[in-house]
Structure 1
Amino acid sequence: MNVTTAIVLAGIALLCGLATLAGWALDIPILHRFLPRAYPMWPVAAIGYIFVALGVLSDHTRRPSFAIAAYLAAMAVGVIGTLQPVLEPWIDLGQLVYADRVLALGLQHAGRPGVNAIVFLLMLPIAAFASRSKWRLLREVAPLVAIAPLALALASATGMMLSDNPASVNLSLRASVPGTIMALSLTAAILLGHWRVDAQRSSRIERSDPVAIKTVVAGAILLPALPATIELLLERGAHGEPITSHLVLGVFNILAIGLIAYWAVNRVGREQIARAELSLALDGATVVMTDARGRIIHWSLGCQQLYGWTEAEALGENLYMLLRAQCPNWNSSYALPDADGAQELIEQRKDGSQLHVIERLLRSATPTRGAIVVHSILDISERVSALRALRASEERLAQATAAHELGIFDWDVGGDHINWSPGTEQRLGLPLGSLSSFESWKQLIEPSDLESLRATVVEAVAERAERFSFRYRLTGCKGTERTLEGSARCFYNAAGDLIRVVGAALDITERDEHEAALRRREAQLRTVLETVPDAMIVLSGDGSILQFSAAAEELWGYRASEVVGRDFTMLIPADEVETDQEVLHRFVQTGEGLVGEVLVGTAQTADGRRFPAEMRAGAARSDGHLLITVFVRDLTERVATEQRLSELNNEIAHVSRQSAMSEMAADLAHELNQPLSATANFLAAARMLIERGEGGPRVTDLLRMGSEQTQRAGEIIRRLRAFVARGEVEMRVESVERTVRDAVELVLVGTGHFNLRVSFHLDPTARFILADRIQVQQVLVNLLRNAVQALKLVEPDDRQITITSEKLPDQMIAITVTDSGPGLPEHVLETLFSRFSTTKGGAGGMGIGLSISKRIIEGHGGMLSAENAPGGGASFRFTLPGIEEGEE
């Protein structure tokens, strides 16, 4: 509203100036006087007023450059008018425009601007400039500068209205009606513009400015003298009445001083209100003032509300002692010190609670108190709590992303920059910064995956989708190619262009590898299950059949569709149902008795045929459900085969013993010849003594020795018959020493000419074994005969056989037969106990002796092994169950 009014007033002044010039141009006196007997408005003064009006209009229509030019032109007219007495020899301002018509009026100083016009042309542009200034002092002085010519115009108008002859009113002032109207209009327009600008700044609390007050006071003294000075410069040669002139100047001075006094009082009142507002605002702030010793000298209302201590309680106390202030350590600090020396403190309220604050210090000094410190305190407790929660949240997020190997990214599409969560690139085996830009990231993606991902993004952008999922492979990673999977959130601008993408990527390389391995294992398992001859059945925890393989269909004669969903008891005979159900129930309850064991039972086919079956089971839990996989093998052929093999083994053992005896027959004849020849000799000697008539002890000794030799021959024959005879296995407690020595004596019959030496190292604590003595002796005979054959290859003096026994911790007794022969070749050791593998080379041999020996020892619950002895030769070791003496 003020702007419109100011424009209208400036327009009125402009029309008045143009009308005045038109009056001079057309020689119409009423247009440049407005009243018949009024003093005329000179053309030069009218031009100056027109420039001021144009400046005001340009100023209010926001054309500052044109406004400044117009104001400067108006001021130039005023300055030349002021200096006219000095410049008169060279230039007469009144003769420049319409000189003939101006001189025709016959007035003194015709055409020259008077005091009123000069004051207006100088003061109004200055007031306009000052009202727009950024300095408050100039803005506040602007109304005074504008009011001074206004007062002069009012005084001139008053003088003209009181005089009977307005044209004779103080000719030196040369006040005209058009000039007065234009002065009033332009002054009002400038003041309205100033008040509009000042209203925009009035909502701001301003501090007192002593310089402004001093300047205004000086202006109050000097300003009234300005028109008088101009008047003295212009009144030379004036023929007007001095009383009127002095009256006008007096009224001007009174108005100017009154206005200045009003401004000063108004200014003081405003400053008092400003101080009250500032005091209220400062008192509500948390501000503390302390002296040089740290004692509180001012405690604001804001401090009372923050800490709980009243002003009476706080004054005189040491600030930091009262608040128990302390600095936080480095890991609990949440605010960095500012450049102005602010610091974070942990302080305590009156109720004992703690708070975090930021304290800034302002040091100053006063004439009465000396050095003082102003403490400005900012409560950051809520910010600290928020930062703690944020830090904890960030730590949890970092831990979660690290634990799940999750990479969070933020792609600035316009800036082509990608921010990744810390550690992502390192976890992928990439150097730091490898994924920081779109170009570097694109270079690492598998080309086929890049095309697929680009198509996904293009489709999402085309549909303005908020999210999209992705999966791609990264090459160039340390160790192996990595596969990433995740989803992203899209952000668009107002035009619908993609500007940002935020998402999370998960390294699923291991998962893919596991899934691929699982698929391979599943395919392999299916192949195995399709080809394995054993039947497979999958049961639930309650015994229901879940799967029935093709081999199971062939074995039982049922189709899978006929048995799936039914109880497993349909596959076994009725008399074994209860037992098998108890085994299953016990396993479900305790986890024992099924998995890890080989169960032998009886199954029944669809046509009622019963067959022996061997079952092996495994168990697994999937989604809380127990799955039991049972592999079933038909033992019908195996049982028959084992029976045939058992009979065959007995036959082979018998044949082996007979073969051994046939080989020993020649040696046995030689061995038996010795005791029989000795017996014959002893009997012949006894007969000769009897025939001579001699008797007594000597004959008795000869008969006794003959009897002993006969018994020796009979013992050799008895042992041979016992070894060759075929009979049932009989497990009995046998003496280790007796068993070993009998076998040695049996083998060494007839080998005396080989110069063999046998040494025994028998453990006295390992005296008895639980075994079939004949079968154990068969093993010993086989090992000893192999040793005898091997020792034939070495020198007679080096032929040594050592037999040892020892007690083992697991109630077993180990018997070792070691020879000093050449040992066993490595290729023989690998297949030593296989059937038809012999240690006799080209010397002959069936190759079944050691295989039978191994089965005999394993049948006793022991083990038979062979190795080359460290000192040379072969060493055979077998174990048998031991018996304590008390148990015998």
Structure 2
Amino acid sequence: MPLRIRSEHRPAALQRAMLPEVVADEAIAIVDADGRILHWSKGCERLFGWPADAAVGQHKRTLLHSRENGVVPPWPSARAMRRLNERCRDGHVLATIETVQPVGERAGGRVRAIWIGTDECVSGNAPWGASSPILTDPHQRAVIRSQTGLFDYDRWSGTIGWIDHQWQALPVPVGRVPLDRLCGVMDDPAALRRAVADAAADRRPLLTFECDLRLHQMRRRRVEAAAHMIYAQDGTLARMVGRYRDISEQHVRDNRRRRQRDDLHHILNSVPDAFLVTDAAGVILSANAAAGQLLEREPDALAGCDVAAVIGVQPAELPRLASAESPRPLAVAHADGQVINIELRVVLPDRSGEPSYALFIRDISDQVADAERMDLLRMEFVRTSQASALGAFAAQLTHEINQPLTALANFLGSAEVMLRKGGPVDRIADVLAMATGQALRAGSIVQRHFQRTVGAEPDMQPIDIAALVEEAVLLALPGNAGLDIALTYDLDDDARTIWGDRVQILQVLTNVLRNAAQALRRVDQSHRAILISARRRAAGDMIELLIADNGPGFTPALLPHLFEPLHDRCNDDRGGEAVGMGLGLSICRWMIAAHGGQIDAFNQPGGGACIRLTLPTPVTAGGHGEMHIRTENGAA
């Protein structure tokens, strides 16, 4: 494992004889030769309650009332460790373990670094006394619990003083030893020496690094260390004081997580579908290579983006999409304006903590293009079939009606000749009667063909509106026809039953719903909606059934001719897609009229089209209906 070096540049004015900021959480102080506090760490503040601005400049022994067996201990001239009773700011007496390490010289005497620990084995952290337990190495036990050790490197002597915090198997004795001896158990000591030399050349105050140490029996440990670099008056490095800690388990965990993350990243990049991970706020956390290719962005550039800006899905929609049974089709625009069609499936992983969403995206542009081509072919086929059927219908009707019309013309011609010649009135009357018979015959032929087209006489019976609407939706929008239309029903309790032919009314509803779905193709997929409502008229004799959509509505050119047969609507249909001859709605008009009802169409004030069917109730059935067309926002 290569040595990892991190260093920090700071102005020379900040280079003081104190431990680096990375060890500020430890209870560490630095005092001068007289014991006056020069540095007071955050750990000392938490342990004793005295803030740094109140502690710096005070005598440590006086500030904390330090006592060893009831006596104020003297300051040692070399490295030493003591068990003391020291008083906190609130008056509480604390049993502490004080390690004093000389770290350099200053005018007036030697500067000392003090590491202060507490032994939690002492019940209630009571002061040291005659009844206190005897610990073989209380300082080391306290250091073990903190997972931290200290070291002091003296450049002039080439020695390093250190405390082994948990590696009794390390083949180097605890205390002060030559630096070369410690470097002998390091994997890459030359790299550390170069790092120290570079930092000293730049007069950096702080150096942090990680390295591997070789223990007995082929054991290895990973160490993280941080050192404050102290310079002499001539600018050369004099000492390094810092702390180190064992990060072996953490290092193993980090490597394991890194390998798992790399494996997962490799797996996701091999998936052909695009894949995004977002948090609950809709911020993209990661993306695979397929997502970058589909959305024409680098995967790393997608991280941190709002999913609404990338694929148009609002964060509030993610929970609903995660519970949906089928994927949602969407249209996404690239930066260059190109629009692609995608299919989105959202999954909510089953895990604790902050929810995140996995978005699986599939490019369905080719399928949509194929479906559109099939729709065009289908509509062209329907148009051709309609024209062919209309031609056959017209040919048959012409053939059958030609005979009575020819006979009618002959009879009328004969009557005209007889009138001019002054023929007998009785004879003329007989000829005109025969002409009348042929005219009635022609009418019956037309009526018979119409009944063959629209069906026989209505089979009137009570019809449940809810069941009829449900069946019409299944026929007109099987599986929602892939359009993602939000269907809403608003059926009043007093408008549940109508009187009519179930097959014919079903045919009318199916035709109207198909037209509405066709018009909604030009509406954004996330906002397509159809409302089916039923209500009883104020008079109470008729039921109004309304089918409203939020599409583009009827064009002014189409609306007056909506129910006219054979009206060319290729250029003026409301969606610009549905083409035909108008036979469907014209037949719907005759079917509703045969029920004694009405059918009308209008544009809603808020946008969208509405078809209204007015049908009789079982009590008021009868009569003949008629058609009304509204031209402007429902106005007759």
TM beyond 0.5: no
TM-score, with structure 1 as normaliser: 0.22
By percentage of residues, which structure has more strand? 2
By percentage of residues, which structure has more helix? 1
Higher relative contact order (CA 8 A, sep 6+): 2
Larger Cα Rg: Structure 1 or Structure 2? 1
